[in-house]
Amino acid sequence: MKVGHAQKTLYAALYAAEFPAQALLRLRPDLQSKAVAILHGRNTQQSVCALNGHARRRGVTPGMTRLEAEELEGLLVLQRSEETEAAARAVFLECASRFSPRIEETSEGTACTLVLDIAGTERLFGPPQKLAERLRSALVMTGFHVSIAVSANYDAARMKAATTRGIVVIPEGEEANALAKLPLRSLNLADDHYETFVLWGIRTLDQLAALPEVDLISRLGQQACRLRELALGKARHAFQPIEEKFQLKEFLDFETHVEQMDSLLFICANMINSLVTRATERALSLALLNVHLDLEGGLIYERVIRPAIPSADRKFLLKLVQLEIAAYPPQAAVATLSLSAEAGHSSRVQLGLFTPQIPEPSRLDVTLARLKSLVGDERVGSPVLEDTHQPGRFHIDSFTVNAKVTERKPAPPRLALRRMRPPIPVRVILLAMRPIAFRNAEKRYEIIDAYGPWKTSGCWWSDNGWDAEEWDVLASNAGGESIACLLALDRIRDIWLLEALYD
């Protein structure tokens, strides 16, 4: 760009009409072919705030009361959900951000309007017409129907998108002609100004632009100059881009409580498809899924699903959700469904040429999910030692796959301690406070050597306290069988236990 020359501007305005209806129907393909009206307000004063095309053809109009709408045959009436709209708006904004990082929102009423600064994107997406087509196709794939207008003037693109259908590209310098037949309401006039123009017989923007500028300002003030510039498509605008945090979340408020698992999984499949698509656009996968359900009666159901490695396999993730819900079914009918995810990077392990084939991680996750449904979450995973002096204390963490391959040098053979779970109760014979023999349920062993005692205790202030005396012994029975084992005296319960065997 040469010094002294202003950089050319170019904007693409996206106008999603009836956004409350689009937000509720984008995840419900079973309802998109039906006439649907969205209600807003209190129970006694509910009225139609948004509707789809099928409902409009049946005679539904905005502002119609609930009673009037319910009298129309074949019309499905749904309640407006602000949380569903917020989740849909985030998806709408995220899809648009793939074409430009500079976005300003000018939403009004029940429409969602975004204006993208697309100056300098020709090398990435081609000319404005092609960019607009690709942008509209991406939004349709996400579940939104929009009109798009492209212009070098910000307000011209915004007003044209709100009053047209499809895609319109306004050539530079032709803004006034493109806006000429737009209604006066496109300027968002104050009521007193609108009434004044109506009295003068002004109905369209070209009629307003034809008025003498000096006379117009003398009658309506300096604001009239701004209105005239808007009508001519020459108004200046200070672009104010918004910054949104990347968040993977989908939400749906059911019109009737859902009791069947198949219906719930049908919606989950659409949500997972949307989450995976949004993650893969950023070269990411889903590392965690959080299923949140609001149940009938004010109950809350929440499950966290964490695959062994991040995945973008839609069928696999849906299978994990299905197994989780089947293992821990909700205790009441479902009122709302929220599915959120955390993104992660898919790991790849480069195996050697002669390395044996390993199982697919998805099969491992499904197997772990089925095992959890049989024995419980706390019994499946990786053991982790706890930070305590109590022998044998550990807990189970979720199993994860470490993609980093490390070479281990061969270690010299060591004595292994094989813990008995649970420990086996034994009867011990003492001589001078030292064990000389013990007997389990089957055999009697004479102790040849005994080393100890090793005394440990702790956590006396809680229910998890322990007080033990341990002996390492070498023993043999009458049949000549020799064993090396660990005997422990539980002082709290006053019993002897066979804790472990040495291999």
What are 344's two structure tokens? 């992660």
Provide φ and ψ at 246, rounded to 5°: -70, 120
- Regarding whether 54 and 156 lie in a shared domain, the answer is yes
Q: How far is CA 99 from CA 87, 231, 242, in A?
A: 20, 28, 15
- Regarding whether 315 and 263 lie in a shared domain, the answer is yes
Q: Indicate whether 398 belongs to any domain.
A: yes
Name the domain boundary from 182, 208, 232: 232
- Regarding whether 286 and 152 lie in a shared domain, the answer is no
Q: Indicate whether 269 belongs to any domain.
A: yes
How many helices (DSSP H) and strands (DSSP E) are in the chain? 15, 20
Sole residue written with tokens 């993208």? 116
Q: Which CATH number fits the domain that encloses residue 264?
A: 3.30.1490.100
Confidence bin at 425 (pLDDT 50/70/90) = very high
Flag whether pLDDT at 406 surpasses 60. no
Please name which of 160, 145, 76, 79 lies closest in space to residue 115, comparing C-alpha atoms.
Answer: 160
Q: Indicate whether 242 belongs to any domain.
A: no
Mean pLDDT of the chain: 87
Q: What is the pLDDT of residue 348?
A: 59
Mean pLDDT of 314-326: 90
Flag whether pLDDT at 392 surpasses 80. no
- Regarding whether 25 and 131 lie in a shared domain, the answer is yes
Q: Indicate whether 441 belongs to any domain.
A: yes
Flag whether pLDDT at 160 surpasses 90. yes
| Pairwise pLDDT comparison (503 vs 333), residue with the higher score | 333
- Regarding whether 87 and 217 lie in a shared domain, the answer is yes
Q: Indicate whether 410 belongs to any domain.
A: no
Flag whether pLDDT at 383 surpasses 90. no
Flag whether pLDDT at 404 surpasses 60. no
Flag whether pLDDT at 361 surpasses 70. no
- Regarding whether 427 and 381 lie in a shared domain, the answer is no
- Regarding whether 449 and 370 lie in a shared domain, the answer is no
Flag whether pLDDT at 67 surpasses 80. yes
Give the pLDDT confidence of 179-191 residue by residue, as tens digits: 999 998 888 888 8
- Regarding whether 69 and 202 lie in a shared domain, the answer is yes
Flag whether pLDDT at 403 surpasses 70. no
Long-range contacts of 199-208 (CB under 8 A, 24+ apart): 204/180, 205/179, 205/180, 205/181, 205/230, 205/231, 206/176, 206/179, 206/180, 206/181, 206/231, 208/184
Flag whether pLDDT at 421 surpasses 80. yes
Flag whether pLDDT at 2 surpasses 50. no
Q: What is the pLDDT of residue 140?
A: 94
Q: Indicate whether 20 belongs to any domain.
A: yes
Give the pLDDT confidence of 344-353 residue by residue, as tens digits: 886 555 556 6
Q: State the total domains in the chain.
A: 3
Q: What is the pLDDT of residue 360?
A: 65
Sign of dihedral through CA atoms 481, 482, 484, 486? positive
Helices 314-327, 361-375: crossing angle, 10 deg rounding: 10
Q: Which residues contact 352 (CB under 8 A, 6 or more apart)?
A: none
Q: What is the pLDDT of residue 347?
A: 59
Give the pLDDT confidence of 201-249 residue by residue, as tens digits: 888 998 888 888 888 887 887 888 888 889 899 999 999 998 878 889 9
Q: What is the pLDDT of residue 3?
A: 44
Mean pLDDT of 427-437: 93
Q: Domain range for residue 278?
A: 248-349+359-404
Give the pLDDT confidence of 8-42 residue by residue, as tens digits: 899 999 999 999 999 999 988 888 899 999 999 88
Sole residue written with tokens 């070269």? 283
Please name which of 279, 274, 339 lies closest in space to residue 141, comparing C-alpha atoms.
Answer: 274
Q: Indicate whether 108 belongs to any domain.
A: yes
- Regarding whether 137 and 185 lie in a shared domain, the answer is yes
Distance CA 498, CA 280 (A): 54
- Regarding whether 155 and 288 lie in a shared domain, the answer is no
Give the pLDDT confidence of 107-127 residue by residue, as tens digits: 988 999 999 999 999 989 999
Mean pLDDT of 76-90: 92
Peptide bond into 422 cis (omega under 30): yes
Q: What is the pLDDT of residue 1?
A: 40
- Regarding whether 220 and 158 lie in a shared domain, the answer is yes
Q: Is 451 exposed, middle or buried (0-12, 13-18, 19+ CB in 10 A)?
A: exposed
Give the pLDDT confidence of 263-297 residue by residue, as tens digits: 899 999 999 999 999 999 888 999 999 999 999 98
- Regarding whether 190 and 139 lie in a shared domain, the answer is yes
Q: Indicate whether 488 belongs to any domain.
A: yes
